[in-house]
A and B are shown apart, each in its own frame.
Chain A
Amino acid sequence: MSRLLQLLGELAFTLWAVGTLVFLMLHLVPGDPVAVMLGEGANAVDQAALRAQLGLDQPLWMQYVHWWGNLLQGDLGRSLFWHQPVAALIGERLVYTVQLAVLALGFALLLALPLGVWAALHAGRWPDSLAMGVSLLGVSIPNFWLGPVLILFFSLWLGWLPVSGVQAPLAWVLPTLTLGTALAAILTRMVRASLLEVLHEDYLRTARAKGLPQRVVIWRHALGNALLPVVTVLGLQLGTLLGGAVITEVVFDWPGLGQLLVESIQRRDYPVVQGVMLVVTAAYVLVNALTEWLYTRLDPRVRP
């Protein structure tokens, strides 16, 4: 129980720090953020109105108190471009990003588990080198290049899949491949490494000795333990996945949070930029806290 409280305390601290940094972001804009947002030609009246709307005419500590007051009520401010609450905009787009992330995660797991097991069982021989070579390639291909190349092959030359958007029936295939490849590559290495570590444990020798078939020994007994560290890495890799989603969404015109973020940066719609950064980071922090908690529940060795 005290462990849970400690985790919750750390979680609260991290969320507070993240919220504060995102608040300070607007004040890092060189020069006057209001002038930057409205452009050069804006007149003084408009500037004063926006300054008042954003609360920038108040002292910093007042703005800070307001920021947290609003945040705790789920109010992320209003978009300067859409004239809508930021929270509503994010709610609309969030679904698409979650969908893409889950698909990419599923694809990565489907590819990485068999490949990693295959490599570990043939450690040091050609299947291992092949799997590790493919994995290195996967980590090194930038997704903003993989995406266009996949479009070139499958959409433009072969005409099998749509170029972009979400409407067409198979539109999710290429974004999923693009986003999932790097994760699959990292997971393959992790699965292989942690499976190699448990393969020589006594309990596996016992399982073999009592006549269990190799399939059951590997997939039930060995992987059960080998996947624990993989789960932690998976939580951490979610951050890379969310960062990659920004690029993937831009490549495929996928209407998720990443695209909203990049569009809003180009429009200098800072309240939306802050809102997206905050929501995505908070989601990432929460998932990681959850993974850590699950980990302590699952592995009796780290249970206090």
Chain B
Amino acid sequence: MRLWLGILLLWGLMAVAGWGVGNGAMAVQLDKLLALPDWQSWLGYDQLGRPVGARLLLGAQTSLVVALSVVSLSALIGTAIGLVSGYVGGWLDRFVVRVIDVFLAFPGLLLAIGMAAVLGPGVENVIIALVVVGWVSYARLARAQTLSLRSREHVLAARALGAGHGRILLRHVLPLIMAPLGVEMSFGVAGAVISEAGLSFLGLGVQPPADSWGSMIREGTRYMLVAPHLVLAPGLALMLVVLAANRLGDHWRDRLDVKRLDG
């Protein structure tokens, strides 16, 4: 577990270090086009002679900013909708369930691709597109959990004592669903990192000169025979972060559910 937490921590540190890179990542060195690693840049140089290591840090920054924004916004919006829908019930709940079903009707990345297509490229639009897709899973989870908690004794007791709806939801229901939501958020980080890189790979996400691991892979594929490090470096970074976030989510879920047999 320490290994995976360490990778996530390293990801954060890389992103912070990205702010210290400054213009170093943009420095074009024409004598080093597609050059293999040397002592100045451990990961070699890209097609414009820019150091890949420095660009990797900027990519880490992009993916961290996108992942944190997407997961926190989706969780906030989704949980709020799910809580209220499950708690209030009735026609509002039926309506919310319908809306969730319609959003789930779009296959995986396709809705995000469509949203990115209409909104146009850019970091903010990637975040918006992924939140539009992402809130649904939190809403569904929060609603299901709230439904099962709604008539539990402690909630009924709180209501009998005259607690308001807001207080009941925030103090008596929300704390009990935080753990499963946390697991979902952990998987959400992995999903957001992959989706951002995927959109950028398709040319629908982060645009040059800004860096993303996805767009680095996209550019690198053109020079794969002479400079495979352009594809390998960002891909490995991406895979390790996704693996770590997934592993964390798995671990957390197993800890929560004592009945589960599978890991």
Contacts and interface: CB of A to CB of B under 8 A. Distances in A.
B197 A144 contact: yes
A255 interface: no
A262 B218 CA distance: 14
Contacts of A262: 113, 202-204
Nearest to A268: B117
Interface residues of A, number: 53
A123 interface: yes
A144 B204 CA distance: 14
Nearest to B262: A193
A140 interface: yes
A140 B246 contact: yes
B90 interface: no
Interface residues of B, number: 47
Contacts of B225: 156
B247 A142 contact: no
A264 B5 CA distance: 41
Contacts of A140: 190, 239, 242-243, 246
A151 B224 CA distance: 9
A18 B238 contact: no
Nearest to B234: A145
Contact of B119 (A30, A189, A239): A30
B32 to A, nearest CB: 22
Interface string B101-119: 1100111111001111111
A35 interface: no
A152 B107 contact: no
B26 to A, nearest CB: 24
A239 B174 CA distance: 31
B204 A265 contact: yes
A244 to B, nearest CB: 7
A18 B203 contact: no
A115 to B, nearest CB: 14
Interface in A231-261: 238-244, 246-247, 250-251, 261
B160 interface: no
23 contacts: A13-B98, A17-B98, A17-B102, A17-B105, A18-B102, A25-B114, A25-B118, A30-B120, A140-B190, A140-B242, A141-B239, A142-B239, A145-B235, A149-B231, A149-B232, A189-B262, A193-B262, A197-B261, A239-B108, A242-B110, A250-B201, A251-B221, A262-B204
B109 A145 contact: no
Contact of B224 (A123, A156, A246): A156
Interface of A: 10, 13-14, 17-18, 21-22, 25-26, 28-30, 123, 132, 136-137, 139-142, 144-145, 148-149, 151-152, 156, 189, 192-193, 196-197, 238-244, 246-247, 250-251, 261-262, 265-266, 273, 277, 280-281, 284-285
B194 A142 contact: yes
B198 A247 contact: yes
Contacts of A250: 201-202
Contact of B263 (A22, A25, A132, A281): A132
B217 interface: yes
Given A30-B119, A149-B231, A196-B262, A144 B246 contact: no
A137 B244 CA distance: 10
Contacts of B239: 140-142, 145
B134 interface: no
A245 to B, nearest CB: 9
Given A239-B106, A244-B109, 20 more contacts: A13-B98, A14-B101, A17-B98, A17-B105, A139-B246, A140-B239, A148-B235, A149-B231, A149-B235, A151-B224, A152-B224, A152-B228, A152-B231, A192-B262, A196-B262, A247-B109, A247-B198, A262-B204, A277-B114, A281-B105
A25 B111 CA distance: 10
A56 to B, nearest CB: 14
Contacts of A149: 231-232, 235
Interface in B85-111: 98, 101-102, 105-110
Contacts of A281: 105-107, 110
B51 interface: no
Given A139-B246, A193-B262, A247-B201, A239 B235 contact: no
Interface in B116-168: 116-120
B37 to A, nearest CB: 17
A66 B234 CA distance: 47
A52 B98 CA distance: 35
